[in-house]
Structure 1
């Protein structure tokens, strides 16, 4: 757990303080080329072009990382394993900085520039929407993809888990994923849905604890969160409900304080308040996860 906590702190710090380094390191062109090479080697019908064919692309890099992980376990008081874990988590995190992408949307009034900035929050080829509800869902989808999915599977499986999540996301939704055979891509999306389900459940639980519990719980239950269906749509629904309730509470507090008249409140509200509040909520959820990890570390030291 201490390794995980240290790796998360370092990954976050480097991502914010050394963004050029993050951009330079987090390059996945090799994986796209690897998938294209496999596709060229197996042009006819066969395992690669079936639903489980994505395993051919995932297993070699994951096996290599797994062997390194096993080889470094316990060596030199665990220091090489810590460094390796930090390196893999930093590589798999992101790859883009979510704060930077959200600030780019909020920081411009030009409709064309805003639409182009918002497109970075949607998978390649999907329609972009600038409505408040859509932006809240996009923030939490990206938070799951860029932060929480990598972090959860790093907690469960170590470095190989972080890389598994990142490569599965690239195969399912990456810029070049449309080049994969249809059944192969469908298999990648199915794998990603399996990896996402526990992540979305724990994100929603943390959201309920740091936000409006009643609103989050109701939205979670009404949108299939209480079932085992591999659909993480309940996460976006819970986030929208939480953001709506928080914005409503802010408006009520300002109105009751007498500082702002109800009519002026709407005019003076910050641009895209849902996006701002969704980003704040995502950070609070991440801090809750880190706090839980820290508690496990302290409990381990005490025992």
Structure 2
């Protein structure tokens, strides 16, 4: 069922990216989650027990636990299977995206092609969240952000969906929302680090298969099983090295960025194939 849910979710993704990006953004809105956090703050603020790991548990783990229990209650029967499938697809679409980097960077690529350097810097800053020192640094920052956004918005969600079901995908997304708002507590930080450590390394293997494997292995072999090396650092090293030496910067200033998108797409195909194999062999959670 995991494979079927992923196929349907990907088809929905393709439809929304091609037709209704505004509607797609609403599907991935985090408003409900931060409303929940505000409710918790309003209801329990000032309580002596509402702090530390218990506060982190209520904010990050409790909603996921309720989702897990709900799916366990509907795991039998023909009609129940359709309900479960529909809810799986809904959670996947909600936790994906909301936009592919290739879609987000349309203005950036167009500005570079038209020689509009200042506009390109502004698009890049909006995409990466930081100001680059020069054009070379800008291209590098955009490349690294492409790998991270593809991973955090799609690959990791799919991986945890397969490993832990809809609750796993939702947990990863909620932790990511908390990180983006600097709300991660001690428990949330450890969970987020562990989930990225595992998922990013699985994705790193797909980048090795999709690109220059020799360069990728050489760059990352000393870091791959190091618990102190975060998933983001490892993935960036592997993905960047896997692009190889085939990027011709003289052809276009953003050649490396287009290469990163292309490599990510090939890695996505390989990851989907791995999910299919895991589903057929019964290795997936759902």
TM-score normalized with structure 1 length: 0.79
CA 1:299/1:157 → structure 2, altered by over 3 Å: closer, same or farther? Answer: closer
CA 1:120/1:90 → structure 2, altered by over 3 Å: closer, same or farther? Answer: farther
Alpha-carbon distance between aligned partners in 1 of 2:220 and 2:8, rounded to the nearest angstrom? 32
CA 1:75/1:40 → structure 2, altered by over 3 Å: closer, same or farther? Answer: same
Matching residue within 88, 93, 118 for 2:91: 88
CA contact (8 A) 1:219 1:234 kept: no
Q: What secondary structure is seen at the aligned counterpart in 2 of 1:246?
A: coil
Alpha-carbon distance between aligned partners in 2 of 1:94 and 1:134, rounded to the nearest angstrom? 20
Matching residue within 166, 171, 193 for 2:173: 166
Report how far residue 240 of structure 1 moved: 1.5
Which structure 1 residue ranges, 5 or more long, are not aligned? 252-264
Residue correspondences, number: 269
Q: What secondary structure is seen at the aligned counterpart in 2 of 1:6?
A: helix
State the partner residue of 1:275.
257
Alpha-carbon distance between aligned partners in 2 of 1:163 and 1:291, rounded to the nearest angstrom? 22
Deviations 1:84-125 (A, max 9, x none): 211111111112332211333222233443334334533xxx
TM-score normalized with structure 2 length: 0.84
CA contact (8 A) 1:53 1:187 kept: no
CA contact (8 A) 1:215 1:245 kept: no
Alpha-carbon distance between aligned partners in 2 of 1:186 and 1:297, rounded to the nearest angstrom? 34
**Residues 1-303 of structure 1: pairs in structure 2 closer than 5 A:** 3-19=1-17, 20=20, 21-44=23-46, 46=48, 48-50=50-52, 53-76=55-78, 78-109=81-112, 110-122=116-128, 126-129=129-132, 130-173=137-180, 177-178=181-182, 180=183, 184-185=184-185, 187-222=187-222, 224-229=223-228, 231-232=230-231, 233-247=233-247, 266=250, 269-298=251-280
Q: What secondary structure is seen at the aligned counterpart in 2 of 1:225?
A: coil
Alpha-carbon distance between aligned partners in 2 of 1:30 and 1:52, rounded to the nearest angstrom? 21
Report how far residue 201 of structure 1 moved: 0.9
Alpha-carbon distance between aligned partners in 2 of 1:137 and 1:170, rounded to the nearest angstrom? 20
Report how far residue 27 of structure 1 moved: 1.2
CA contact (8 A) 1:194 1:230 kept: no
CA 1:65/1:133 → structure 2, altered by over 3 Å: closer, same or farther? Answer: same
Alpha-carbon distance between aligned partners in 1 of 2:253 and 2:69, rounded to the nearest angstrom? 49
Which structure 2 residue ranges, 5 or more long, are not aligned? none
Alpha-carbon distance between aligned partners in 1 of 2:58 and 2:143, rounded to the nearest angstrom? 35
CA 1:299/1:39 → structure 2, altered by over 3 Å: closer, same or farther? Answer: closer
CA contact (8 A) 2:162 2:275 kept: no
Report how far residue 162 of structure 1 moved: 0.9
